[in-house]
């Protein structure tokens, strides 16, 4: 059984998810987190079947699962599309995300193993390399690996599940830091401070490091959202 939180309810709903369906959901989520599909993009079933080499019923089941997670909308007479997100919703999600990240940071410092910390450090260095290369695909993959490693270190699967859902919703903003000179290096420094607090088994310091990192990341993400919205408006105008 896996728990999936419905968008309009604070109560998680348990659904049966087979290994094959879970794998398909991960692949489709990756197409969104890696930027192949962005907020507002339509998801055409035939194209998804061809891309992922699966049947239409399997795609439809997976799309319903992603709708339940709040990642896509299935609109009558138009079909599924990646859910749009505005500034107010980003701020609301970020508020929840901060609470989750602080709890994860504290639990990681208290319950994470040395192997967990080693993996987090490896992910930080991989992200640093991707940022230095300014390779957007690598950055998205490296950030996903960092978030996964961070969540895993808390040793609380329910907490990790909710955190993953939020990171996927906000993933289209993951390369925003490239727009601000000096931010990539600053971000890595903040993550290394978090790692140091975790290794020293100091939950208060780990939480403080996460709060600082989160506030800076939120400001950059809001700027990235404005750039994204302007780009979509320009694209819409060009089509007209």
Burial class (CB in 10 A: 0-12, 13-18, 19+), 204: exposed
CATH class of 2-82: mainly alpha
pLDDT at residue number 104: 98
**114 vs 21, 145, 170, CA distance in Å?**
33, 17, 29
In whole angstroms, give the CA distance from residue 72 to residue 114: 37
The answer to whether the CB of 79 falls within 8 A of the CB of 192 is no
In whole angstroms, give the CA distance from residue 93 to residue 56: 32
pLDDT at residue number 240: 59
pLDDT at residue number 9: 40
**118 vs 121, 152, 153, 204, CA distance in Å?**
5, 12, 10, 20
In whole angstroms, give the CA distance from residue 130 to residue 138: 5
Q: HSE on the CB side for 229, CA within 13 Å?
A: 11
Q: What is the 3-state secondary structure (H, E, C) of 82-115?
A: ECCCCHHHHHHHHHHHHHHHHHHHHHHHHHCCHH
User: Would you kindly state where each structural domain of the chain is located, as residue ranges?
Assistant: 2-82, 87-237
Kindly report the pTM of this predicted structure: 0.79
In whole angstroms, give the CA distance from residue 47 to residue 217: 34
pLDDT at residue number 49: 95
Ramachandran quadrant class, 70 (left: phi over 0; alpha: psi -120 to 50; beta: rest): left
Angle at 113 (CA atoms; ends 215, 117), nearest 5 degrees: 45
In whole angstroms, give the CA distance from residue 54 to residue 47: 10
In whole angstroms, give the CA distance from residue 14 to residue 52: 26
2-82 and 87-237, same CATH topology: no
pLDDT at residue number 185: 94
pLDDT at residue number 128: 97
In CATH terms, the superfamily for domain 87-237 is: GntR ligand-binding domain-like (1.20.120.530)
pLDDT per residue, tens digit, the chain (240 aa), is 444 444 444 434 444 457 888 899 989 988 887 778 888 899 999 999 999 999 999 999 999 999 988 889 999 989 999 988 889 999 999 999 999 999 999 999 999 999 999 999 999 999 999 999 999 889 988 998 999 999 999 999 999 999 988 888 888 888 887 888 899 999 999 999 999 999 999 999 999 999 999 999 999 989 988 888 887 777 667 665
Residue 22: CB atoms within 10 A of its CB come to 13
Nearest to 117 by CA among 196, 216, 53: 196
Report residue 65 as tokens.
């699962």
The answer to whether the CB of 160 falls within 8 A of the CB of 111 is no
In whole angstroms, give the CA distance from residue 229 to residue 40: 10
């Amino acid at each position: 059984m896996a728990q999936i939180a419905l968008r309009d309810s604070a109560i998680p709903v348990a659904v049966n998810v087979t290994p094959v369906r879970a794998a398909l959901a991960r692949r489709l989520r990756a197409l969104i987190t890696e930027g192949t599909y962005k907020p507002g993009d339509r998801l055409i079933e035939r194209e998804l079947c061809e891309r992922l080499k699966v049947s239409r019923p399997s795609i439809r089941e997976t799309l319903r699962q992603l709708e339940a997670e709040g990642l896509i909308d299935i609109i009558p007479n138009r079909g599924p599309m990646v859910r749009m997100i505005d500034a107010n919703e980003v701020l609301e999600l970020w508020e929840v995300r901060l609470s989750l990240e602080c709890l994860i940071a504290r639990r990681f410092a208290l319950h994470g193993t040395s192997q967990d910390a080693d993996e987090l450090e490896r992910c930080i260095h991989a992200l640093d390399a991707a940022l230095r290369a300014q390779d957007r695909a690598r950055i998205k993959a490296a950030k996903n690996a960092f978030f996964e490693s961070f969540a895993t270190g808390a040793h609380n699967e329910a907490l990790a599940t909710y955190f993953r859902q939020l990171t996927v919703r906000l993933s289209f903003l993951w390369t925003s830091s490239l727009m601000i000179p000096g931010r990539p290096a600053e971000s890595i420094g903040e993550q290394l401070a978090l790692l140091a607090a975790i290794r020293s088994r100091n939950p208060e310091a780990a939480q403080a490091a996460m709060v600082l990192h989160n506030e800076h990341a939120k400001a950059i993400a809001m700027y990235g959202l404005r750039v994204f919205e302007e780009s979509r408006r320009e694209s819409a105008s060009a089509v007209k």
